[in-house]
Structure 1
Amino acid sequence: MNLRLSRRHLLALAAAAAAPTAHAQVNAAALPDFGAAPEFTGIERWMNSDALTMSGLRGRVVMVDFWTFACINCQRTLPHVNRWAEAYTPQGLTIVGVHTPEFPFERSADNVAAAMKRLGVRHPVAQDNRYATWKAYANQYWPATYLIDAKGRIRYKHFGEGEYERTEAVIRALLAQR
C-alpha cells in the first residue's frame, strides 16, 4: 500500500495539527457540590495581598491551590496556575496559593518569597506553616486544587499534576455561572 501524500494533503495535515484545539466544555450546574469552603485559618502571613477571607471573596470564583516550593510537582503546575491568574482574575477569579511546607526550610518567609519570585507567583499566597487551613480542607496532597463557586461552595477538586484543560474548563464554567 502506497502512503505517499500529496503536498496539498501534507499542508492540510500540518494546518490541522497547528490549529488550536477546542476548549473542553463543562456544565457548572452538573458539577458536584462538596460543601461550603472553609475559611482560611491559622495563616502566619499573607504575601502579595492583605489577608483574605472566604466570606470577603463571596461573589468571586476562588481557586485554593495548596503547594510548597520544593515540591517538583507543584513547580510543574505553577505555570498553569500563574497563567490562569493572569487570564481570569479580571473576569472574577481569585487564586489563593496556600503554601503549606513539607520541610523545615520551607517555613521561612524569606525562602517562600524568594521561591515565589523565582517561580513567577504574583497571586495572593497564605503561609500555612501550622497546617490549619490544610486541615480545614482535610487536604492530603501537594499540589491540590479546589475551585469554589461565587456562593462559596467547593465544586471541583484535583490532586497532583495534570487535568489542566479540565480545570480551566471548570474555571470558565464557574465564571460564566456567576
Structure 2
Amino acid sequence: MKPVRFTLFVLLVMFCPVNLSAADPLIGQPAPDWQLTNWLNSAPLELKDLRGQVVLVRWWTAPQCEFCRATAPALNEFHADLAAKGLRVIGIYHHKVRTPLDPQQVAERAADYSFKFPIAIDPGWRTLKRWWLDGHDRDFTSVSFLLDRRGVIRHIHPGGQYVKGDADYAVMKAKIAELLAEK
C-alpha cells in the first residue's frame, strides 16, 4: 500500500501546478519605498505617485543577462497594450559588471531593448536588497513584482524570463488582467 501512496504523491507533485509566488511572505505586503536614480523616459517617480495604477516592476541588467533580453518584448507589449487601461511598467536597472556604472550606457541598453516605459537605476542594489534580497538566498536578481492599485505586492515572478507562449508569461498576463479588473 505504501508504494501506491508514494506514487500518488509523486504524480500530484508533478501534475498539480503550484503558484510559488503565492507562498512568498512578501505577497500581501505593501511594497517598500524605493531609492532610485537617473530616471529615463519619465520624471522621477515615487510609489505613492503610482497609487491607483497597477504597477509591474522589473529589475534588469544588460548586456549579459539573457533573461532580461528575452523578457524585454513582454515588458514592451504589456506597456504598449495596457498602459491606457491602468498598467504602469517600471524597469529598474541593477549593475552587475565590474566596470563603473555609466548611466549613459544604461540609457543605450534601454534603447536597445526599445523600452519606452520609465527606467531608473538602483545604485548599490539598495532597493533590490530591500524588496527581494532581504537576507534570503534567491536564484535570480531579474525579479518582477506586480503591485495592485493600493501598492500591495500581489504577485512575484522570482526571476528568469517570461516570454510570449510560455507558462510564466501566461501567468503574468493573467495576474495583470486580474488586477486591472479590480477597482
TM score, norm. by length of structure 1: 0.77
TM-superposed CA distance for 1:83, in Å, is 0.5
Unaligned runs of 5+ in 2: 1-25, 163-167
Of 44, 66, 72, the residue aligned with 2:37 is 44
Residue identity over aligned pairs, in percent, reads 29
The 3 A distance-change label for structure 1 pair 106 and 125 is: farther
Look up the match of 1:107: 101
**Within 5 A, what are the aligned runs for 1:1-178?**
33-41=27-35, 43-70=36-63, 71-105=65-99, 107-139=101-133, 140=138, 141-158=140-157, 159-162=159-162, 163-178=168-183
Change (3 A) 1:113 1:128: same
Compute the RMSD of aligned alpha carbons.
1.5
The 1:65–1:53 alpha-carbon spacing in structure 2 relative to 1, beyond 3 Å, is same
Post-superposition shift, 1:106?
7.2
How many residues are paired up?
146
Amino acid at match of 2:122: D
Q: Using the alignment, how far apart are the partners of 1:64 and 1:172 within structure 2?
A: 16
SS of the aligned residue for 1:66 comes to strand
- List structure 1 runs of 4+ shifted beyond 6 angstroms: none
Residues 27-81 of structure 1 deviation map (CA, whole Å, 9 limit, x = unaligned):
xxxxx9430011121x231111111111111110001101102211100001001
SS of 1:143's partner is coil
CA contact under 8 A between 1:69 and 1:106: conserved in structure 2? no
Instruction: Determine the C-alpha separation between the residues in 2 that align with 1:104 and 1:49.
Output: 28
Distance 2:100 2:69 in 1: 14
Return the offset for 1:173: 0.5
